[in-house]
């Protein structure tokens, strides 16, 4: 038998996200919430695997499509530069840091230890910042419309997340995982400083 060689992590990652999305439609909701959402409560109950599984979990189709589109836009370039193994390790690292950041922020800044979150956004925020640090002048489309240098665009997204998180700590804001996004961005910065620069 010939071993199967994975040429790219990105298609596998997208496939895993799609599979988990379909599981939300086939398995009982309580099972999915227990194993595929991250919260401080989940960690306090020793469900540490949710640090990773939640980052492959999407309930809404639009959430899945946006995250996978962005991953497919930036991921292959970074994977080609840093290598397949290094990229998937970084992606998992960013996912875990993003998930952990959501849990910490919801517990200590928002006083909502049981607030659950799902989505690849934290990991993808790390991917975007890593891309921007590596290619700061490369043009990206802000909100898919306005062309800006990658570093400026990523800084604007981070600024929006900081603003959104502050609003959430005051009881307002939108139902967006700003803490996870900022955690993922931190992972991107750390990876860049330790391994790329």
Q: What is the pLDDT, as a whole number, of residue 1? A: 53
Q: What is the pLDDT, as a whole number, of residue 2? A: 45
Q: Is the pLDDT of residue 177 over 60?
A: yes
Catalytic residue IDs: 121, 181
How many other β-carbons are positioned within 10 Å of the β-carbon of residue 25? 9
How many other β-carbons are positioned within 10 Å of the β-carbon of residue 88? 19
Q: Which band of pLDDT confidence, cut at 50, 70 and 90, is reported for residue 140?
A: confident
Query: Residue 28, SS3?
Result: coil
d(CA 188, CA 192): 6
Mean pLDDT of the chain: 94
Mind listing the pLDDT tens digit for each residue in 21-78?
A: 999 999 999 999 999 999 999 999 999 999 999 999 999 999 999 999 999 999 999 9
């Amino acid at each position: 038998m010939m071993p199967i060689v994975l040429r790219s992590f990105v298609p596998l990652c997208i496939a895993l996200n799609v599979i988990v999305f379909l599981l939300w439609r086939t398995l009982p909701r309580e099972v999915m919430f227990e194993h595929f959402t991250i919260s401080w409560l989940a960690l306090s109950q020793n469900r540490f695997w949710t640090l990773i599984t939640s980052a492959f979990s999407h309930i809404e189709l639009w959430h899945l499509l946006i995250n996978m589109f962005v991953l497919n836009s930036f991921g292959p370039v970074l994977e080609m530069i840093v290598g397949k193994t290094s990229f998937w390790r970084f992606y998992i690292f960013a996912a875990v840091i993003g998930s952990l950041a959501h849990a910490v922020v919801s517990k200590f800044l928002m006083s909502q230890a049981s607030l659950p979150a799902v989505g690849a956004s934290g990991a993808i925020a790390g991917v975007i910042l890593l891309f921007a640090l590596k290619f700061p002048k490369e043009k990206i489309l802000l909100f898919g419309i306005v062309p800006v240098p990658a570093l400026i665009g990523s800084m604007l997204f981070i600024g929006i997340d900081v603003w959104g998180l502050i609003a959430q700590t005051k009881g307002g804001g939108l139902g967006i995982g700003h803490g996870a996004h900022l955690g993922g961005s931190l992972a991107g910065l750390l990876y860049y400083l330790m391994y790329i620069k």
